[in-house]
Amino acid sequence: MYELIKIVKKGIMGKFYIFVPVSSNLIMRATFFDPVRKKRVVLTPEEDVRQQLIRMLSEHKGYPVSLMSCEFSISLNGNKYRGDLVIHGRDGTPLLLAECKAPSVKIGKDVFDQILTYNSSLGVKHILLTNGPETYFASLNEASGKYEYKTEIPCYNELS
pLDDT tier at 13 (50, 70, 90 boundaries)? very low
Pairwise CA distance, residues 20 & 126, whole Å: 48
Does residue 14 belong to any structural domain of this protein?
A: no
Is residue 15 assigned to a domain? no
In a domain, residue 79? The reply is yes
Tell me the CA distances in angstroms from 19 to 4, 8, 24, 31, 45, one per residue in order. 5, 14, 10, 22, 29
End-to-end CA distance of the chain: 60
The pLDDT of residue 126: 97
Q: Give the range of the structural domain holding residue 56, as residue numbers without chain letter.
A: 31-158
CA distance 133 to 47: 14
CA–CA separation, 36 and 31 (whole Å)? 15
Instruction: Supply the DSSP symbol for 56.
Output: H
pTM (2 decimals)? 0.78
pLDDT digits (tens, 9 = 90+) for 86-106: 999 999 999 999 999 999 999
The percent of residues above 70 in pLDDT, for the chain, comes to 82
- Tell me: the pLDDT tens digits for 140-151? 999 999 999 999
The reply to whether 105 falls in a domain is yes
Is 23 within the bounds of a domain? no
The count of structural domains within the chain is: 1
d(CA 59, CA 80): 31
pLDDT score of 139: 95
Does any domain span residue 95? Answer: yes
Reduce the DSSP state of residue 136 to 3 states and report it. Answer: strand
Contact, 85 vs 100, CB < 8 A? Answer: yes
Can you give the pLDDT at residue 12?
A: 45
- Nearest partner of 57 among 156, 136, 157, 159, judged by Cα: 156
CATH code (residue 146): 3.90.1570.30
Give the three-state DSSP class for 103.
coil
Q: What does the pLDDT read at residue 25?
A: 52
CA quadruple 99, 126, 133, 154: dihedral, nearest 10: -140
Per-residue pLDDT of 59-94, as tens digits, reads: 999 999 999 999 887 777 777 878 899 999 999 999
Per the domain annotation, does 140 fall within a domain?
yes
User: Tell me: the pLDDT tens digits for 101-132?
Assistant: 999 999 999 999 999 988 888 889 999 999 99
E strands, 25-125, in order: 31-34, 39-42, 68-76, 79-88, 94-100
Q: What is the mean pLDDT of the chain?
A: 84
Is residue 74 domain-resident?
A: yes
In whole angstroms, what is the distance from residue 143 CA to residue 14 CA?
A: 66
Model pLDDT, residue 63? 98
